[in-house]
Amino acid sequence: VLGGRILVKAEGLQRTHSFKFRGAFNRISLIDPTECRNGVAAYSSGNHAQGVAAAAQCHGIPAVIVMPRDAPAMKIDNTRAYGAEVVLYDRKTESREAIGERIAEERSLTLVRPYDDPDVIAGQGTLGLELAEQARRLDADIDAVLVPVSGGGLVAGCALALERECPRAAVYAVEPDAYDDTCRSLAAGRRLRHAENASSICDALQVPTPGELTFSINARLLAGGVTVSDDDALAAMACAFRYFKLVVEPGGGVGLAALLAKRFDCRGKTVAVVCSGGNVDAALFGEALDRYGNQA
Amino acid sequence: VLGGRILVKAEGLQRTHSFKFRGAFNRISLIDPTECRNGVAAYSSGNHAQGVAAAAQCHGIPAVIVMPRDAPAMKIDNTRAYGAEVVLYDRKTESREAIGERIAEERSLTLVRPYDDPDVIAGQGTLGLELAEQARRLDADIDAVLVPVSGGGLVAGCALALERECPRAAVYAVEPDAYDDTCRSLAAGRRLRHAENASSICDALQVPTPGELTFSINARLLAGGVTVSDDDALAAMACAFRYFKLVVEPGGGVGLAALLAKRFDCRGKTVAVVCSGGNVDAALFGEALDRYGNQA
């Protein structure tokens, strides 16, 4: 129906059920062993939280994670289940960066930033390496890659990996309509914020402005940006349920949404879509099924 | 919490979203090319239907599939989408075997039986070969394998494969409480029917009695049988949603249900659970999430 060949990278099946484990694990594995006895700190709306908590657990060190009080319950529960201490804050009135940095300093913890860190970006880039390798095994020649974007670490890492491994693939950032800061910034050639009073069900994609390091990479390597509506994201979740038998969270499904909503034209192309995470509460998933579950 | 190591074989990610493609493809690939010009026929509650339809499409031959009128809409739609002609019948008053055999004879089609066929059993057995290979790669020493059972083709094929590849693994059949014909038959040492007026949400597991060929294999090789309730199956679907990010249909989830409901004790063991399919309508999946989606 879409007229193109679609390859799906299912990061809901990754450890901690999102790509975030990749960058967190790489960053923590590179901490000087004499430093990291006190552990790590991080701030995150949820997926980086789980990634850092699980990666710290793998390395046998403590983790303190600063999370918004309105994060999905599943993400908070899972972060605690990986053994981390969770500190909640108010997304509207407090700065997660300030709280995270204060805690890291007070307790002598290594701060694991969510995207503006070369070791985190390199870790996320392993997804791009796998994508290129898996496409080769399928004898698929990728024309375009659609990647959900918040701070831009995943897409930057993937673009760096694909620049070498799959140079003819055009890499696109996909964002919610309301959190279009990377799309605006790519168009303007400088870092801009999204519109005021933004709101979206894509809880994982709500960074106000691209990262400094990530944008310097993305401005050079990305082919462009695409945005989708919340309804498009819900329809993508229902599509993944029906046709792939995968649980995809709203922010994780924006790349697929861009195809289904025809915001990105894949006719005659081979397009790799990164479904970047699957941590969604049952109520919201049920809403996606109620509204779009019976569409073929 | 369960106290054992659980390995999940996710057949919802298989072609046609259940293991049935394996046996259908193997059987059709072994039809004498001079015979199969007219195509194949099959009767099925839904997953074998899709498997045969897709395997026939791969071989470029027509398929006629006899399906119950009350099969999940998704299974009927998908079977047609794989290019098959679907003939509906009434599960309560008509015999699918009789209709399937009549159509096969009238139109000179090769009948692809759902389980009582050595080539179908061999095809399903590829799941057992993969399970053994994947366990070796994880350095996991499997103590037990739980397999959803209807006619018994999948578990027979797996038991044959594992007898050679993984001889110390004990293979168990898992059925809905109401469709316990294989469990009863294994206990009695001869083929018995399930109780009268059986009813279950596990639409894929409603064969009245074990197959002749499959039971001869299963009576020799299986370690036993376990049954679960419909509520156990719904809870397993919600668990797969939450912890594996996989869509599992009720019949596909009975093995996982046996663990969660403590019908099978996995403490201190490495247990491989076959989640045999993911073809479930949105409404029933939503019900599983409503009822069990918020349990940790």
Phi then psi dihedrals of residue B101, to 5 deg: -70, -35
The Cα of B189 is separated from the nearest Cα of chain A by a number of Å equal to 38
Q: What mean pLDDT, rounded, does chain A reach?
A: 95
Find out whether A9 and A94 touch, Cβ atoms under 8 Å: no
**C-alpha closest to that of B140 among B267, B268, B259, B270:** B270
Give residue-wise pLDDT tens across range B11-22.
999 999 999 999
Residues sharing a CB contact under 8 Å with residue A157, sequence separation 6 or more, in sequence order: A23, A121, A122, A123, A124, A125, A126, A127, A128
In degrees rounded to 5, what are phi and psi of residue A271? Answer: -120, 125
**What does the alpha-carbon distance between residue A291 and residue B136 come to, in Å, rounded to a whole number?**
43
Confidence class of residue B181 from pLDDT cuts 50, 70 and 90? Answer: very high
Test A77 with B17 for CB contact under 8 angstroms. no
Structure tokens at A222: 């990305």
Q: Is the pLDDT of residue A74 over 90?
A: no
- Give the CA dihedral A194, A199, A200, A203, nearest 10 degrees: 90
**Alpha-carbon B136 to chain mean position:** 24
pLDDT at A187: 97
Backbone φ, ψ for residue A270 (5° rounding): -105, 115
By Cβ distance, the residue of A17, A278, A282 closest to B289 is A282
Query: What span, in angstroms and rounded, lies between the C-alpha atoms of B68 and A218?
Result: 53
Distance CA A262, CA A232 (A): 10
Element (H, E) at A236: helix A230-239
* Confidence band of A18 (pLDDT split at 50, 70, 90): very high
Q: In the block, which residue shows the tokens 């026929």?
A: B41
User: Among B17, B77, B293, whose Cβ lies nearest the Cβ of A282?
Assistant: B293
Map residue A245 onto helix, strand or coil: coil
For residue B54, which of B104, B8, B123 has the smallest C-alpha distance? B123
pLDDT at A266: 97
Is residue A158 within 8 A of residue A128, CB to CB? The reply is yes
Report d(CA A208, CA A226) in Å as an integer: 17
Q: Say yes or no: B290 contacts chain A, CB-CB below 8 A.
A: yes
Nearest CA in chain A to B244: A13
CA–CA dist B121, B158 (Å, integer): 8
pLDDT 10s digits, B94-132: 999 999 999 999 999 999 999 999 999 999 999 999 999
Chain segment A176-207, per-residue pLDDT in tens = 999 999 999 999 999 999 988 889 999 999 99
Is B247 an 8 Å CB contact of chain A? yes
Rounded to whole angstroms, how far apart are CA atoms A210 and A192? 8
What is the full DSSP assignment across chain B? ---SEEEEEEGGGSGGGBTHHHHHHHHHHTS-TTTGGG-EEEE-SSHHHHHHHHHHHHHT--EEEEEETTS-HHHHHHHHHTT-EEEEE-TTTS-HHHHHHHHHHHTTPEE--SSSSHHHHHHHHHHHHHHHHHHHHTT----EEEEE-SSSHHHHHHHHHHHHH-TTPEEEEEEEGGG-HHHHHHHHTS-----TT---S-TT---SS--HHHHHHHHHH--EEEEE-HHHHHHHHHHIIIII-B---TGGGHHHHHHHTTSS--TT-EEEEEE-B----HHHHHHHHHHHTT--
Contact B247 A241 (CB under 8 A): yes
> How far from B134 is each of A109, A193, A284, B141, CA to CA, in Å?
38, 47, 34, 11
Which is higher by pLDDT, A294 or A97? A97
What's the pLDDT band for B196 if we cut at 50, 70, 90?
A: confident
Contact A241 B285 (CB under 8 A): yes
Question: A124, A214 in Cβ contact below 8 A?
Answer: no
Range with lowest mean pLDDT among A29-43, A143-157, B197-211: A29-43
* Cα–Cα dist B204/B166, whole Å: 27
Are the C-beta atoms of residues B279 and B75 closer than 8 Å to each other? yes
Distance of CA A230 to the CA centre of its chain: 16
Q: Which of A244, A245, A294 sits opposite B282 (nearest CB)?
A: A294
- Preferred mutation among B17, B245, B295 to probe A, highest tally of A CBs within 10 A: B245
What are residue B84's phi and psi, to 5 degrees? Answer: -85, 155
Residues paired with B228 in a beta bridge: B176
Are B237 and B280 a contacting pair, CB within 8 Å?
Answer: yes
Instruction: Enter the tokens of residue B278.
Output: 């993911």
Global pTM reads 0.95
What is the pLDDT at residue B100? 94
Query: Does residue A20 carry a catalytic annotation?
Result: yes
Q: Distance (Å, rounded) from C-alpha B38 to C-alpha B42?
A: 13
Comparing C-alpha atoms, which of B55, B35, B80, B20 is closest to residue B277?
Answer: B20
Is A35's pLDDT higher than 80?
no
Contact A220, A214 (CB under 8 A): no
In angstroms, the CA B151 to CA B211 distance is 5
Checking DSSP bridges between strand A40-43 and strand A110-111, what pairing results, if any? parallel
What residues of B act catalytically?
20, 276
The answer to whether the Cα torsion of A16, A20, A22, A27 is positive or negative is: negative
* Interface contact B293-A278, CB threshold 8 A: no
